[in-house]
Amino acid sequence: MNRPAHDENAERAVIGAALLGPTLVTELAAKLNPGDFYHPKHGALWDAICRLDAAGTPADPITLAAHLAEAGDLARVGGAPYLHTLISEVPSVASAGYYADIVAEHARRREVSELGLRLTQLADSGTDTADLLATSRALLDDTGAGAEWAPPIPLGTGRHLPAFPAHVLPGWVADMVTAVAEFTQTPVDLASSIALAALSTAAGGRAEVEVRGSWREPTNLFTVVVLPPGSRKSAVFAAITGPLLAAESALVERTKPAIIEAELAARVAGKAADKAAHAAANADASARDTLLAEASAAAMQAEAVTVPSLPQLVADDVTSEAAAQLLADQGGRLAVLSPEGGSPRSPAATRARRIWRCSSRATPGT
């Protein structure tokens, strides 16, 4: 199958020329919309450039990179180095309008191609001939430079999602998420979703859900909350996960004396095993067997001393290798909770998926 009509070099040249000559943006924006670019990252770059220009801010590489970084989109469009690559590849800033015409022409060709597919699908759907011709003429009349599709037909009054059912949560949880949402002036969905992840952290490894028969599932949740930057996600996240971190600190303080005692016992047992081994090595033949048995017993006793690990309930943006070690240290229980996420292909998201696959008892949070 042939790829849709596009010219990647022309797209790169338009954006590079706009970065070199910010005064050209208004002229080029009259010809191009972000949707006219075939590559999504080029469309995202053009949208950001046009927004800066509309706000009266020159869209130079430094300003654009800072704007994208603040919005969390810089990595998605190739990073700051890609902006400088676009600038270095511009053949001529004076030809920016010519490059824009090429991009716009390919966008119109893609529209025609998509229209052809829609008409073919209508023809194959068994639609009445008269209705088919009327629909085809309407679609053709709406096609042209700058034309837009007709407004979508509403699917009905039930197309909107219902309000988050915070009332079905346990009373004390519902009271907390409602209070946090009101205090931070955020949707109750945000606090409720993070609260479910926190509850999963508390129950993970301690409880299972018996679906039916021998079918059991751990109480794990993989929760993702998506909101625009500046929506106070971090404040809500801190309020909901605060009790988890407090519990973790209390567990650490409670376990420290046991760790000190176990470490001391391990050192004493180790020294005793070394002393027994030394005595067996220096004994004469008549006593060597007896001392060797005593040294072996002392070594086994030293090996049996287990030093507990410091409790850890929560990790943030942990690597898959470190997560595997933490899972082993914590008995297969770990929550990955972070107030900042990434795209589905970002390193943090990839690590979270790997951790989820590593252990059925791991508890990724939000």
pLDDT at 60: 85
Q: For the whole model, what pTM was predicted?
A: 0.44
Q: How many residues does the chain have?
A: 366
What are the distances in angstroms from CA 332 to CA 80, 247, 266, 317, 364?
A: 40, 18, 24, 18, 12
pLDDT at 280: 78
- Mean pLDDT for 122-133 is 67
* Helix H or strand E segment including 315: strand 314-315
Tell me the per-residue pLDDT of 205-221, one tens digit each, with 9 for 90 and over.
777 888 888 888 887 88
pLDDT at 365: 40
Tell me the per-residue pLDDT of 237-280, one tens digit each, with 9 for 90 and over.
888 888 888 888 888 888 788 888 877 888 888 888 788 888 87
pLDDT at 140: 61
What are the distances in angstroms from CA 191 to CA 5, 66, 101, 175, 364?
A: 45, 30, 48, 11, 16
pLDDT at 346: 46
- Mean pLDDT for 307-323 is 74
pLDDT at 145: 40
Tell me the per-residue pLDDT of 231-240, one tens digit each, with 9 for 90 and over.
888 888 888 8
pLDDT at 254: 85
Where does the chain hold its CATH 1.10.860.10 domain(s)? 8-141
Q: CATH second-level architecture of 8-141?
A: Orthogonal Bundle (1.10)
pLDDT at 350: 44
| pLDDT > 90 fraction of the chain, expressed in percent and rounded | 2
Q: Kindly indicate the confidence band of residue 345, based on its pLDDT and cuts at 50, 70 and 90.
A: very low
- Mean pLDDT for 47-60 is 87
Tell me the per-residue pLDDT of 162-221, one tens digit each, with 9 for 90 and over.
778 888 888 888 889 889 888 888 888 888 888 888 888 887 777 788 888 888 888 788
- Mean pLDDT for 44-63 is 87
When mean pLDDT is compared across 99-108, 137-146, 288-297, the lowest value belongs to: 137-146
pLDDT at 5: 79
pLDDT at 362: 37
Q: How far apart are CA 192 and CA 237, in angstroms?
A: 10
Contacts of 128 (CB under 8 A, 6+ apart): none
